[in-house]
Amino acid sequence: MSQSKEMLDAIMRAIELEKETFDYYVKAGHRTFNPAGKRIFNWLAKTEEGHYLKLTELYNSLHEGGRWVFYGGSTFELEPAGADEQRVTFDTDDIEALRIAREIEKRGIAYYEELTAAIADADGRAMLEALRNEESEHLRVIEGMLKGLEG
């Protein structure tokens, strides 16, 4: 049994959001010369790319056979801060990039919560909850960086 058009459209929108977020983090990582900024934005980009790939797999599986796919979570660990990060500070553009990232992650969390509420399938709920939890972790890291930089 295939999924409803509305659910497939919602998953496609999630795919688009992950792609847009990935693109933003890649650009932000290229723009900053700060080692901490590069480390954080590169990690965020890797995890968003993983979400994009898993959601694409999900879309195809739902479309072709109506089956949810297993998602065990991200395998990309955030590297510890390097010694050179302590000597360099963010400039205003980097702080603004983190503020934008914070809002992006908040929207992602809200979107996954909305999708989760619409799913009766236990596997589907588990997958979307895992994605939401990873977006929450991204938000925690971003807010921690901002707190340290903004004082």
Q: Domain of 120: which CATH number?
A: 1.20.1260.10
Residue 142 within any structural domain of the chain: yes
- 73 dihedral zone (left: phi>0; alpha: psi -120 to 50; beta): left
The pTM assigned to this predicted structure is 0.77
CB count in 10 Å sphere of residue 122: 9
Residue pLDDT, tens place only, 53-103: 999 999 998 888 887 776 766 655 556 665 555 444 555 577 888 999 999
Mean pLDDT of the chain: 83
* Amino acid identity at 56: T
**Residue 69 to residue 3: CA distance in whole angstroms:** 13
Residue 82 within any structural domain of the chain: no
Whether residue 2 is predicted with pLDDT greater than 60 in this model: the reply is: no
pLDDT of residue 20: 94
Q: Which two tokens stand for residue 2?
A: 């295939």
**Residue 82 to residue 116: CA distance in whole angstroms:** 37
Range of the domain at 61: 5-65+90-150
pLDDT of residue 88: 43
pLDDT of residue 3: 58
If pLDDT is split at 50, 70 and 90, which confidence band does 137 have?
very high
Task: Please count the structural domains in the chain.
Answer: 1
Whether residue 109 is predicted with pLDDT greater than 90 in this model: the reply is: yes
CA 38 to chain CA centroid, nearest Å: 16
- 97 dihedral zone (left: phi>0; alpha: psi -120 to 50; beta): alpha
Residue 113 within any structural domain of the chain: yes
